[in-house]
Structure 1
Amino acid sequence: MPKKESLQHRIDRVRPPRIQITYDVEVGNAIELKELPFVVGVMGDFVGKPEDALPALKNRKFVEIDRDNFDQVMAGMKPRLAYNVDNKLQNDGSKVGVELKFKSIEDFEPDNIV
């Protein structure tokens, strides 16, 4: 039965990892170079002010994210900012509601925010 190739090694064929942590191990009279995988898990509230209630923390799952699926993951998270700002158009002391929704990394560009 063929051994299942890990995601880390499949990605190595396409683009080499940027961080490689290795250490020397003495096996018998020889030194072998062993590589440690570099994996980072990040937990946080990156949604801002969600329109829909988020599931309880214990029910949330880790999401694997990379440069190829970043926009898809962001669209699924539905990050949103909603707040009131001074109305500089009327200049009468009133407030204007502002809502920003982000679906891709391009939504953070200045032209898309304005």
Structure 2
Amino acid sequence: MKVYLDVIWALNLLFDTFLLYLTAIILKRQVKLWRLCLGGTIGSLLIILAITPFHSAAGHPAGKLFFSILMVLAAFGYKRFRFFFKALMTFYVTTFLLGGTLTGYITSSNLI
């Protein structure tokens, strides 16, 4: 079986951008498309780092926390701490809800 890194990276880029877009919708914030794409690009760098010598740092929970903070900063900016923290927590809730929904759908439909 062949694994195409570019396809995995592109899928991750789109999914990260979509998660940031859903976060913006939930928070009812106007965000420019280029900022959402920048945040998605930052998040998708974890896929690229997974095949480099930095894979252990990128896979560590602190590394993932760092990248998620950078994603939210790129997409929503920093006006004050409460504004940023609310965006970050909404991003996490959106990620967990969508991840759980997709996992539940895949396991209930016997696609695995």
TM value normalised by structure 2: 0.30
Larger Rg: 1
Greater fraction strand: 1
Larger proportion of helix:
2
Q: Which gives a bigger RCO, structure 1 or 2 (Cα 8 Å, sep 6+)?
A: 2
